[in-house]
Structure 1
Amino acid sequence: MTLYPLFADLTGLPVLVVGGGAVAERKIESLLATGAQVRIGAKELCATLREWVSQGRIEHIGESFQPAWLDDAWLVIAATDDTELNTCIAALAYERRIFANVVDDATLSRFQVPAVVDRAPLTVAISTAGAAPALARRVREMLESLLDHAWGSLIALAQRHRSRITARWPDTAGRRAFYDWLHDGPVMSLLRTAQPAKAERAMLNALNSPAAPSRKGLVLLVGAGPGNPELLTLRALRALNQADVILYDQLVGAGVLALARRDAERIDVGKRCGGRHTQQEHIHRLMLDHARAGRCVVRLKGGDPFVFGRGGEEMAFLRRHGIAYEIVPGITAALACAAYAGIPLTHRDHARSVHLLTGHGKDSLDAMDWPALAQGRQTLAVYMSVSRLDELTHRLLAHGRHPDTPFAIVENGTMAQQRVLHGVLHKLPESARQHAIQSPALLIIGEVTAMASEHAWFGERMQRAEDATEHAALELCEHG
């Protein structure tokens, strides 16, 4: 270790910054957040710095550098583009035993300004000793994804009650176990769900209890998105790293599971057409048993838990049995597949509404309002439709949807093997059979799908037998 890590309290202390450009602005913004009294010396100031001076937030002490500027400074930052001046400032600061930083010059600097992850009062600082600041930034990006903002609230809560915690558990082992419980138990979960008063009550109840708090189970209903691990949300990623047990569906790919905590137990509870089928009641029982055993259970679903994912049923089951739960939304297939095929689901000229439908289940098609769905200038996004294309097409045409309405089927949407089939409605079943479309695939029907012929940007776009098909689709899109 070449640098001694140090967190400095600059509250009320004078700090000198020499330079008036964008770099100086960034340094001063961070210094102001610490409560430092910032003085700036520069001939010209950028607009933001001029505004801060006029507001009295910083003091402009002069235009040309004077050694006297260093007289009572605790720190100095040289942020000019004049190498000779920066060298002079660093040398004078060294003589006066003042720590100086010369921006982008580690050899002249006596302290480095690290990349920071701010979860106040938690602060994580990353330094490469000035060798590669850009790589420190990449490390910061990784830590940002792992540390959610509830960390700050948790540490602030523990700080407020630190004396009580110490009195309740004077031994180090007991205190360490309590802090583990704060993070792993209901307190952190309540803070994540914006319930700080309940979180504090839970902690105070544990402090007042004669017995050590025991870990209670938690179920996270997590949307894994459309399959591409890059589209996983930050909260979903954190949940995967929090999980003791993961109950995952068929559509959750290996790439997403690879991001999970390495020692988490993984249980496949997928439902497969014509294959092994996990009953929903068994999934309920697994969630209940593992949660009652004090484990963190992630119920991992493709897409979003509340869009054709039975997340509502599972949420109601957990509430009936008194199990704490959290909902983590995911990017649903309609949004993801359309975007990756270059199709806007809504468009001011072509579609002012979107209908999310499912072809799954024997009664699903019978329950739909076909006269309404057959109207033009709206988009239909149909999940689990591959086996019902003939009937779906027949009903739309029978109720008046134009035969040349464009469609797109997005197979394995967002994945490297994505394929997109385009055509017109009256040829939909025939085209799908010709190109051997397989699940998982999302069907999109509506004038907006014709736009993909120009705006497709990802994956393979299938060729069609007749060029006239595309022409008819575009004509319908342009003329309604």
Structure 2
Amino acid sequence: MFDQPIQTSNLPAVTFVGAGPGSADHLTLGAYRALQTADVVIYDRLVGQEILDLIPAHVRRIDVGKEGFGPSTEQSQINALLVQHGLSGDRVLRLKGGDCNIFGRLDEEIEAIEAVGLPFRVLPGLTAATVAAAAIGQSLTRRGRNASLRIVTGHDMAGFAEQDWRGLARKGEVAAIYMGKKSARFIQGRLMMHGADAATPVTVVENVSRPDQRFFGVTLSTLTDAVSLCSGPAVILFGLAPRQAALTLSELKEAQA
């Protein structure tokens, strides 16, 4: 399938691609094909090295990484790069970690290229929540436990993000919390304030799907202790315990010492 010729004559100016959380095993065939036909790849910080290694040598790469509460490329600059290269006739691939439809600022970038009449397409990817759940041997939904799944962010443009805490605090609820490391204490406090059991299982998966991935099971009461020891990006799976062995807090502290 990878050896079939790729038609480029009818490709749009800009293709938005979800790269998955890091491992090339989670890249879709459509995303791989898009990488092979691009002239320019504009990529985010969380795109895994295995994915970047699949970009042909002749393709120009532009790093526009954003780091939460850290150095970041301004969104207006990213928009300008998409427009500049799209109007120049380049086949532009905008590569985002995970699924570009989830917390990926996709709408803002689409609006920027639509404003100048550039055509586009979107190739979604695997989001970190599904890959993290698979890593711990769990399902994000289960009959008799939770009839819904919440994907929430730990912070937004205004700071720590407010959620439907009462709804999240109900027994049996499951939520994947993205960008929740710095807001973990806030999240813990809000949930317990609204009735969440301190013994609710929580799994923290750090560096999802990458060679240095690790996960450990805690409870809501010890969430902040665990998150404080994570140096890489992490997904917090509220309401799920790992089915397989995970690092305990004491083991994690020993490893960090």
Compute the TM-score of the two structures, normalised by the length of structure 2: 0.91
Residue 235 of structure 2: aligned partner: 442
State the one-letter code of the partner of 1:411: E
Residues 146 and 174 in structure 2, CA contact (< 8 A), matched pair in contact too: yes
Residue 145 of structure 1: aligned partner: 2
Which of 246, 259, 271 pairs up with 2:41? 246
Aligned identity (percent) is: 36
Alignment of 1:218 with 2:42, yes or no, is no
Structure 1 pair 283/336, CA: closer, same or farther in 2 (3 Å)?
same
State the one-letter code of the partner of 2:4: L
Residues 221 and 328 in structure 1, CA contact (< 8 A), matched pair in contact too: yes
Question: What per-residue deviation string (whole Å, max 9, x for no partner) do you get for residues 76-111 of structure 1?
Answer: xxxxxxxxxxxxxxxxxxxxxxxxxxxxxxxxxxxx
Question: What per-residue deviation string (whole Å, max 9, x for no partner) do you get for residues 198-245 of structure 1?
Answer: xxxxxxxxxxxxxxxxxxx61000000010011100000000001100
Whole-angstrom CA distance in 1 between matches of 2:58 and 2:2 = 20
Whole-angstrom CA distance in 2 between matches of 1:463 and 1:346 = 25
Q: How far is the alpha carbon of 1:349 from its aligned partner? A: 3.0
Whole-angstrom CA distance in 1 between matches of 2:33 and 2:161 = 41
Alignment of 1:296 with 2:153, yes or no, is no
Q: How far is the alpha carbon of 1:344 from its aligned partner? A: 1.1
Whole-angstrom CA distance in 2 between matches of 1:323 and 1:362 = 27
Which of 366, 370, 377 pairs up with 2:165? 370
Residues 65 and 72 in structure 2, CA contact (< 8 A), matched pair in contact too: yes
The Cα RMSD (Å) is: 1.9
SS in 1 for 2:35: helix
Question: What per-residue deviation string (whole Å, max 9, x for no partner) do you get for residues 381-414 of structure 1?
Answer: 0001011110100000000111110000000111
Whole-angstrom CA distance in 2 between matches of 1:364 and 1:308 = 15
SS in 2 for 1:382: strand
Residues 154 and 161 in structure 2, CA contact (< 8 A), matched pair in contact too: no
Q: How far is the alpha carbon of 1:327 from its aligned partner? A: 0.2
Which of 220, 229, 233 pairs up with 1:425? 220
Mark the structure with the bigger radius of gyration. Answer: 1
Whole-angstrom CA distance in 2 between matches of 1:315 and 1:349 = 39
Whole-angstrom CA distance in 1 between matches of 2:25 and 2:3 = 15
User: After the TM superposition, which of the residue ranges 225-234 and 368-377 deviates more from structure 2?
Assistant: 368-377
State the one-letter code of the partner of 2:153: T
Q: Which is richer in helix?
A: 1
SS in 2 for 1:387: coil
Question: What per-residue deviation string (whole Å, max 9, x for no partner) do you get for residues 119-146 of structure 1?
Answer: xxxxxxxxxxxxxxxxxxxxxxxxx035
Residue 473 of structure 1: aligned partner: none
Residues 21 and 48 in structure 2, CA contact (< 8 A), matched pair in contact too: no
Which of 440, 443, 463 pairs up with 2:248? 463
Compute the TM-score of the two structures, normalised by the length of structure 1: 0.50
Whole-angstrom CA distance in 2 between matches of 1:374 and 1:416 = 33
Residues 246 and 299 in structure 1, CA contact (< 8 A), matched pair in contact too: yes
Structure 1 pair 340/361, CA: closer, same or farther in 2 (3 Å)?
same
Residues 28 and 125 in structure 2, CA contact (< 8 A), matched pair in contact too: yes
State the one-letter code of the partner of 1:225: G
Residues 155 and 161 in structure 2, CA contact (< 8 A), matched pair in contact too: no
Whole-angstrom CA distance in 2 between matches of 1:465 and 1:274 = 28
Which structure 1 segments of 5+ residues have no match? Answer: 1-143, 152-182, 190-216, 467-480
Structure 1 pair 326/445, CA: closer, same or farther in 2 (3 Å)?
same
Which of 54, 58, 61 pairs up with 1:263? 58
Q: How far is the alpha carbon of 1:430 from its aligned partner? A: 2.0
Whole-angstrom CA distance in 1 between matches of 2:52 and 2:166 = 42
Whole-angstrom CA distance in 2 between matches of 1:431 and 1:303 = 23
Which of 405, 414, 418 pairs up with 2:209? 414
Residue 380 of structure 1: aligned partner: 175
Q: How does 1:57-456 map onto structure 2 within 5 Å? A: 144-147=1-4, 183-185=7-9, 188-189=10-11, 218-361=13-156, 363=158, 365-433=160-228, 436-446=229-239, 449-450=240-241, 452-453=242-243, 455=244
Which structure 2 segments of 5+ residues have no match? Answer: 252-257
Whole-angstrom CA distance in 1 between matches of 2:118 and 2:224 = 45
